Amino acid sequence: MIQLPNTLSVYLGKQFLKNTAIIFGVLMTIVFLADFIEALRRGGDRDDMTIGILLQMVFLRLPTLSLKLLPFIALFGAMLTFFRLAKTSELAVIRATGVSIWQFLFPALSIAFAFGILVLTVINPIAAAMQAENDRMEAKYFERQSNLLTLSTNDLWLRQVDEDGLSVIHARGVVNQGIDLTEVIIFQYDRGDIFTGRLDADKARLRPGYWDLENVVITGPNRPAERRERLEVPTSLTLLQIQESFASPATLSFWDLPGFIATLEKAGFSGDRHRLYFYSLIAGPILLLAMVLVAATFSLRSLRQGRTVMMVLGGIVTGFVFYFMTDIIYALGLAGNLPVLLAAFIPAAAITLFGLAMMFHLEDG
């Protein structure tokens, strides 16, 4: 087995980068146009919305959307690279010199893995910051305001809006992942944001349609303090709404996620959703490498047998199967049927093993 010359390695790497960039450009153009059309539909009838604001929001979402498509970009970019090399007979010449399939794939595999590391450490924080800014603009222009105000290891602030006005809830402790709050203060405001009263309670339990307060002190403007053993305060909040109102994992960078997860869990909430996202980010470089292996499996086998259409269809089917399989496994992890760590790494590990097995079979065949 001969050593792959450095010049050839650089050439193969450049071909992979060029073709992957083409796929990236095509897919991102489609995504941008689709997202912009949807933004026009949503914001077209608003007086305070301009084309400039809509374009800004679309651009802010684009990095996060591109990261979601990254495995497919790697897959189709590698397939295009191998297809072009085969069409120009460069692949046949390289193989005829005694270069193994693993040496031939090494430049593309190295680039995919290295780019995955770059995404994890540099690009992801940028995308997260842009997504967070987009969410702030969504809240401002589309009036999508989160119920959660702030969360720390010692304090929780919630806001709830109903027909009577606004209530701001402060709690010193959280139990049962948000069902029970301790050392609770509720500040009540009318529809004109004028303060109307305050409720102090030792404990508040979230029940369907209301907060069940214990040992309550009721105070307000121009009224004496009143004590009650129990009090029901209407609410439209649900446990799911509270848990989902935390910062979206996509708005937190790879470097910030561990601290945020620790804060969530110290406050009494589950950090599984954010932990799953964190582990899936770590699995990202392996996943990109695996997609190159899968692309080689379909491309080289199909080109060897003269079935180009089968190559394209095989890649598309693999992409969709991987997408749905990943969603199912992630759902199992969030439901507690699988350990979160295992759920995050199963998709990348499974498709890597599939690619390796098929490549060994192709090389031996």
Give the DSSP letter string of 237-263.
--HHHHHHTSPPGGGS-TTTHHHHHHH
Residue 173 lies in a domain: yes
pLDDT tens-digit readout, 70-125: 999 999 999 999 888 888 888 778 877 777 888 889 999 999 999 999 999 999 99
Tell me how many domains the chain contains: 2
**Is residue 252 included in any domain, yes or no?**
no
Does one domain contain both 181 and 225?
yes
| pLDDT tens, residue by residue, 228-254 | 999 999 888 887 777 777 778 888 999
Same domain for 222 and 157: yes
> What are the CA-CA distances from residue 177 to residues 126, 205, 240, 244, 345 (Å)?
31, 11, 10, 12, 26
Residues in a beta bridge with 200 = 185, 217
One domain, residues 228 and 331: no
Name the DSSP letter for residue 178: G
Q: Is 332 found in the same domain as 286?
A: yes
Domain presence at residue 228: yes
pLDDT on residue 147: 53
In a domain, 242, yes or no: no
Using the predicted structure, report yes or no on whether residue 291 has a pLDDT greater than 70: yes
How many angstroms separate the Cα of 96 from the Cα of each of 81, 83, 99, 224? 19, 17, 7, 94
- For residues 265 and 343, the model is more confident at 343
Assigned domain for 250 exists: no
Q: What is the pLDDT of residue 109?
A: 95
**For position 283, what pLDDT does the model report?**
95
pLDDT of residue 364: 59
Residues 137 and 171 reside in one and the same domain: no
Residue predicted with more confidence, 309 or 59? 59
The mean pLDDT of the chain is 86
63 is a domain residue: yes
Q: What confidence tier does 148 reach under pLDDT thresholds 50, 70, 90?
A: low
Is residue 1 helix, strand or coil?
coil
Pairing between β-strand 223-234 and β-strand 210-220 as defined by DSSP bridges: antiparallel
Residues 138 and 156 in one domain: no
Per-residue model confidence (pLDDT) at position 2:
55
**Contacts of the segment 298-301: beta carbons below 8 A, 24+ positions apart:** 298/79, 299/78, 299/79, 299/82, 299/83, 299/86, 300/82, 300/86, 300/91, 300/101, 300/362, 301/358, 301/362
Confidence bin at 352 (pLDDT 50/70/90): very high
Whether 267 contacts 174, CB under 8 Å: yes
What's the rounded mean pLDDT across residues 325-348? Answer: 91
Are residue 24 and residue 72 in the same domain, yes or no? yes
Q: Domain residues for 172? A: 148-237
| Mean pLDDT within 287-307 | 78
Question: Over pLDDT 90: what percentage of the chain?
Answer: 44
Query: Model confidence over 175-200: pLDDT tens digits?
Result: 776 688 889 999 999 888 889 999 99
Residue 20: band (very low, low, confident or very high) from pLDDT cuts 50, 70, 90: very high
Contacts of residue 21, defined as CB under 8 A and 6 or more positions apart, other chains included, come to: 77
Same domain, yes or no: 117 and 164: no
- Decide if 233 contacts 186 (C-beta within 8 A): yes
